[in-house]
Amino acid sequence: MIQSREKHVIYLGMAINIFLIVIKLAGGLLASSLSLVADSIHSFSDLITDFIILWGLSLAARPADKGHPYGHGKLETLASLLVAALLFFVSFGIMKKAFFCFLQEAPHIINNRWVIAIAFLSMIGKEFAYRKTINLGTKLHSPALQANAWHHRSDALSSMVVLIGGLAGCLGWSRGDPTAGFIVGMMIAYVAFRLTRQDLGQLLESAVSPPIQQEIENAINRFPDIISWHHLRTRQVGREIFLDFHILVDGNMRVADSHALSHRLEEFIKETLDYPLNIIIHIEPGDVTP
């Protein structure tokens, strides 16, 4: 079942997004600011992704069953991938609109000060949402929450670009607003690309990142009661890491003792690493002495 703290941070993001959608859209229409209207669309996509993440986490939290003995963790990764797809869609729409507005006569912005004030407020709110979400997502090793956090951060960065465009308008550069809108679109596309690469890696069962792989290897190396180990394989399913490897033990060791040894090693790794782990250890006998 999805944890209450996960729901709390998602609901917090929803509340911030609803508030920002209203003030950005109203301010953008009143000031004829393309970049601010584009930023409101970005915040709306943020709100949609909050619902996607909530749905994905709820499904992924279901326990393993007969049809899904490894659990439903990949649903969390799929939710993150949906967020990335939505970001791509939003980014291309914003860049297309900004490009054609740049080629035409740029609209007169009625009040750049309002654009700057709203963009600054958005930066503060979305950066706060980012930090709350990324801290929990990192603590729980949740790809979906981390994806949602980066969506918040991309919104904060896009608001910063809108602010710069508003300042450019105050200085007399009439095309600062569509230029800012186009840059917002590029930034959103970059975040979408990063998320897509990460999520596809998980769905294709690529190995965990080199730093995590090194942590696992260091933990195995610190366990004193095995002769050696080899053939380590890793993959990630949602927030859970699956790993299997072979260990070489004393050939004279009884089967029961070697089995107990593998359980001690498994517990040692789980206590050493701060990740949800699913471990399979294959035991191989060393030389047998008469």
Residues 140 and 85 in one domain: yes
Residues 46 and 142 in one domain: yes
* Low pLDDT (below 50) residues in the chain: none
Full domain range(s) for residue 117: 4-203
| Residue 250 phi, psi dihedral angles, 5° rounding | -55, 125
Residues 147 and 278 in one domain: no
pLDDT digits (tens, 9 = 90+) for 114-128: 888 888 999 999 999
Write down the pLDDT at residue 174: 67
Residues 40 and 87 in one domain: yes
CA 257 to chain centre: 42
The half-sphere exposure of 144 on its side-chain side, counting CA atoms within 13 A, is 30
Task: Say if pTM beats, i.e. exceeds, 0.75.
Answer: no
Q: What is the CATH number of the domain that holds 134?
A: 1.20.1510.10
Q: What is the CATH number of the domain that holds 239?
A: 3.30.70.1350
Write down the pLDDT at residue 121: 92
What end-to-end distance do the CA atoms of the chain give, in Å? 54
Domain boundary, last residue among 203, 232, 260? 203
Residues 248 and 142 in one domain: no
Q: Is 290 helix (H, G, I), strand (E, B) or coil?
A: coil
Domain boundary, last residue among 203, 221, 238? 203
The answer as to whether 188 is a domain residue is: yes
| Residue 278 phi, psi dihedral angles, 5° rounding | -125, 110
- Which distant-in-sequence residues (6+ apart) come within 8 Å of 121 by Cβ? 20, 23
Residues 215 and 196 in one domain: no
- Which distant-in-sequence residues (6+ apart) come within 8 Å of 61 by Cβ? 1, 2, 3, 72
Residues 196 and 236 in one domain: no
Domains contained in the chain, number: 2
Give the H/E segment covering residue 236: strand 228-237
